């Protein structure tokens, strides 16, 4: 408990947390505006004439109110998760960047306990980011749907599931951040790698696997992309499955595996590492 308190004090006595929260707020506002615009034009609309049956099936799901409501209530996830993972990374790498690891491990020679405290605090910080965006999403979505003369859908179990699983995603990304931070100790390398992998990698690998699947005519290859943490978390909060998409819980399982594996490997490495 001491160590958790120490990690909280560490987090609150530098500028990182509120800068990241500000980033999450700004990107949330942008994402919500885009999501609302898309929802406005797709909900209830019929599929355009002359598209393939496959595209028509996709369109039917996307134009579904529940799909759009779940998407709106979880707005800001894409960038919110990025800020949460960066926060987790910085919690570890700043110790090496600012050489505070020495005093941290002098105070607490039990390194597993230190990393565990970081995992707990990063997970809780992730949850707080979720609470923060959800507290903005719920009234904003209700107002938007009200203006569209539509029900809020907040009582719908699929929408509620999406909101709660969104919380799980935020929590797991906090843990993932600590794991990445331990694996890539250099602050700059860890943050740049993560941001690039998150922003570019997600899109590139999605395209790559889709192309590969088409080329080799093997549908399963396309599904490999759901093994990526970012794609998996999007899947987790989907209100309706797109055709050809795994179920939402697959996303949750994938994310949990990532968080556990990086967290465990990170802790084991830290136990052995020489601090100099």
Partner 1 sequence: MSDGQIVVSGLTKRYKNLLAVDDLSFSVASGRVTGFLGPNGAGKTTTLRMLLNLVTPTGGTATIGGRRYADLTDPLRTVGAVLEASSAHRGRTGRNHLRVLCAAAGLPSHRADEVLEMVGLTPAAKRKFKGYSLGMRQRLGIAAAMLGDPHVLILDEPANGLDPEGIRWMRSFLQGLAQQGRTVLVSSHLLSEMELLADDVVIIAAGKLVRQGPVAEVLASMTTTAHVRVRTPQAEALTAALTEVPGASVTPRSDGTLLVTGVEAPAIGKAALAGGVELHELTPERPDLEGVFLELTAGKAGIR
Q: Which residues bind partner 1 (CB under 8 A)?
A: 2-3, 5-6, 9-10, 13-16, 94, 98-100, 102-110, 272, 274-276
The minimum distance between CB 9 and partner 1, in angstroms, equals: 5
- Cβ burial, residue 145 (10 Å; 0-12/13-18/19+): buried
Q: Which is nearer to partner 1, 13 or 53 (CB)?
A: 13
103 vs 218 by CB, closer to partner 1: 103
Q: In the complex with partner 1, which residue's Cβ is closer, 204 or 275?
A: 275
Contacts of 87 (CB under 8 A, 6+ apart): 11, 16, 17, 20, 122, 125, 126, 174, 177
> Closest separation between CB of residue 85 and partner 1, Å?
20
CB-nearer residue toward partner 1: 105 or 132: 105
Please state the closest distance from residue 94 (CB atom) to partner 1, in A: 6
Least Å distance, CB 250 to partner 1, is 39
115 within 8 A of 267, measured Cβ to Cβ: yes
How would DSSP label each residue in 95-136?
HHHTT-HHHHHHH---HHHHHHHHHHHHHHHHHHHHHHHHHH
Tell me how far apart the alpha carbons of residues 110 and 9 are, in angstroms, rounded to a whole number: 19
Smallest separation, CB 14 to partner 1 (Å)? 5
* CB closer to partner 1 out of 157 and 276: 276
Structure-block tokens of residue 254: 């994938």
């Amino acid at each position: 408990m001491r160590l958790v308190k120490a990690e909280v004090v560490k987090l609150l006595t530098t500028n990182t947390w509120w800068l990241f929260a500000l980033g999450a707020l700004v990107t949330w506002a942008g994402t919500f505006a885009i999501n609302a615009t898309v929802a406005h034009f797709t909900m209830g609309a019929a599929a355009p004439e002359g598209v393939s049956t496959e595209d028509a099936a996709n369109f039917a799901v996307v134009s579904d109110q529940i799909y759009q409501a779940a998407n709106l209530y979880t707005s800001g996830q894409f960038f919110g998760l990025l800020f949460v993972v960066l926060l987790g990374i910085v919690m570890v790498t700043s110790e090496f960047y600012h050489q505070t690891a020495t005093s941290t491990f002098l105070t607490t020679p039990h390194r597993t306990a230190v990393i565990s405290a970081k995992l707990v605090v990063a997970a809780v910080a992730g949850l707080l980011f979720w609470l923060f965006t959800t507290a903005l999403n719920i009234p904003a979505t209700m107002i938007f749907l009200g203006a569209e003369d539509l029900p809020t859908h907040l009582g719908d179990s699929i929408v509620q599931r999406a909101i709660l699983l969104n919380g799980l995603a935020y929590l797991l990304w906090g843990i993932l951040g600590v794991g990445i931070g331990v694996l890539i100790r250099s602050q700059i390398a860890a943050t740049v790698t993560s941001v690039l992998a998150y922003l570019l990698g997600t899109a590139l690998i999605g395209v790559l696997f889709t192309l590969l699947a088409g080329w080799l005519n093997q549908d399963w290859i396309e599904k490999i992309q759901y093994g990526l943490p970012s794609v998996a978390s999007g899947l987790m909060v989907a209100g309706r499955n797109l055709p050809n998409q795994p179920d939402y819980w697959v996303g949750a399982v994938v994310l949990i595996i990532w968080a556990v594996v990086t967290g465990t490997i990170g802790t084991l490495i830290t136990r052995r590492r020489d601090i100099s």
